[in-house]
Chains A and B, each alone.
Chain A
Amino acid sequence: MNCNPLQTTLQSPRHSIQLKNPIVPASGTFGNGSIVHSLYDINQLGAVLTKSITVEPRSGNPSPRIYETPSGLLNSVGLENKGLPWFLEEVQPFLLSLETSKWVSIAGFTIEEFETLAHVMDTLPIDALEVNVSCPNIHANGVQFCQNMAVLEETLRRVRKATHHFLIAKIALETNPLSQALDIIEQENFDAVCIGNTIRGIAIDAETRKPFFHKIFAGLSGPAIKPIALRVVWEAYDSHPTLPIIGCGGIQCASDVIEFLAAGATSVEVGTLNLVDPFILPRLIQDLETYCCTHQIDLPNTIGSAHHSLR
């Protein structure tokens, strides 16, 4: 049997990144990699992606921060992190010691903060910068960066000017109008889009009849959102077939990965299931290899294949 390698390439007009396989941990569900690296060798992953870093330290939202839903998880962590100087001091050495693709996620509360972060990251020998313009737990006048097209355009333009790195725009699944946002991402010379982040939801405590979370709104992730994420990946590939897509939303098994690739993703990010099973990523890689061998498919031909099947 001809077993195809899992190697995949994120290819834009300006850059390309070759990954050992399409499996990448989603930001915020993997720490900065060191804890998981004590459980298994994370160099086997397609890439390692850090938790979103902000300019200033953030203590995040008050507890409670976690609420389980049927097949999903609402979180209100609020981008807790120790800030940029700590990242440079404590995380950077570990990240740069890795022997796989090294990605950093950045989150700003103003366009200037995004610009600052991109500028600082430009000096580091990392492979990609994921620009988190979607996190629903933060307050930028109540509007996510990716939901205001003028703000999105300005943010991406200034980030692009600040760095030569391979740039990924991480957008919300609710981004509207999606096609216009993707136009902006391409036009501002971003290299890929990650679709997507958590979906805004709320929980109500039935005993007290009050919102469960202090911030009322929280982000829903996990298998519950997979069909929605697949739909947005499908639409993005349909309208922008040459823009590399990283699919993210509820992946639990190798066939979920195949579904995202068939819908148009080139690689995937796995989030919530890292919290359920810290050993899931190596298993996914192994299962994906078995799947490809068993079905005698290769990954490049799988990307967008569900669209091609309709032609």
Chain B
Amino acid sequence: MSAIHPDQVSAAKLAGMMRPPPEPEFDPVTRDGSLVEDPAVRAPLVLGKDTSFNDVTETVCGYIEKGPGRWFWPVFFLVSQVAGLMPLMILYLIITGVGVWGLNNQVDWAWDITNFVFWIGIGHAGTLISAILCLLKQKWRTSINRAAEAMTIFAVICAGTFPGVHIGRVWMAWMLFPIPNSNAIWPNFKSPLLWDVFAVSTYGTVSALFWFMGMIPDFATLRDRAALRIMRASDPSVMKVDRIRCFVYGMLALGWRFSTRHWHRYEKAYILLAGISTPLVLSVHSIVSFDFATSILPGWHTTIFPPYFVAGAIFGGFAMVLLLMIPSRELFPGMKALITLRHLENMAKIILVTGFMVGFAYAMEFFVAWYGGNQYELHVFLYNRVVPDWVDPRGAPYWWAYWSMIICNVVFPQLFWFKACRQSPVVIFIVSVAVTIGMWFERFVIIVTSLHRAFLPGEWHMFFPTPVDILTFVGSCGTFLTLYMLFMRFLPMFAMSEIKAVMPQANPHKH
């Protein structure tokens, strides 16, 4: 073992044998958190001049073992109170009936389905990051994939609740699934609404499996650390917590022991899951869009919907990932070394690209409405959405919803043309808020503005949300955040084994 090999130096430091000497040769990568100017050189994925494998373990496990800080439980208390609104409002709905929502004979889908599509769309970013970016060998995904996958699952939970309770007779919700029953009734497999049931439940299940499989090695790390402390401990009060950790994380780790023969199959399984999740994630929002596209309603009956919905879902999902990551970076010690400006900049670029796809889809919808020559469709696009009622008497009073959507989804992301904006967490956060609002409005515009003035003017009706509508949605945001905070507190927030594998000293062929 020669003493100057950088790998060996860092390993000796890991073993506590020596501090590494300063690296003598010129290092083109600035490792202080700033991004690299030279386009041929990539910014490092993990910051810090001599960040070791052990530093990564200590940082990530520290969030669980030491806790995220004093701010956590008070914030959690507030957020969980908001979450409580959701079951409360659903209970009120079940006891009283769907009349507590603002629905009417013309607008029979409104906030419920808007919220469903909003949440399921957010749920697409996690699988995109973990599956598609994995297949494309985008190594920068490693430090954001775990949190994004968690977010996906919690968003799917929020999404699944809305169609479950909007069916009116909630106690009949089991009939959504093909369960043998005494009436010998089976569901209608020719309905896109049933495809949706299968798409969303499959998506939720597969995402959870993917998420769990990714966490197995990290559970094993937490288990081993607790076991080591038990072996060495003298203080029994510390040991009690560690015994619980050792048992719970031990059960979840399934006896993982970091064997290479296991890693070999594990990596293959990971690629297989990524490979199957990629068409899955594209299919889910396509099928959600079929709920609308296969109807004959002008404004819904559009062949562009599947790709348009998928692009919008990725767009909105990345905004939500950024909304969660940017405050976490500030609040958790050491996280800025793992989620670097390079990660934020890459996500900002994806928002810019998908924002363009969404903008293009808005334009194409319009073009086809005009070019297709269907007067009902043109009317919906022109007067139900774009033209304000104070400009033309044929205009509908929902013009502000349409224009909010355009400003939030098409105008705001243009800031990301500028490097300074892409690298400023504050600007990224503001744009992400705008995109999240804009994507909610997109679904509201599609659903409500199409429905409220359809073929017969005698049926035209406005939709106004009731407090129950609003509080159910607020409650779903609370549920989402509550689940996410529990995740941050008790589960490994970063894929430690994956981060270690992309660190420079992990490469056995580096010379």
Decide whether A and B assemble into one complex.
no
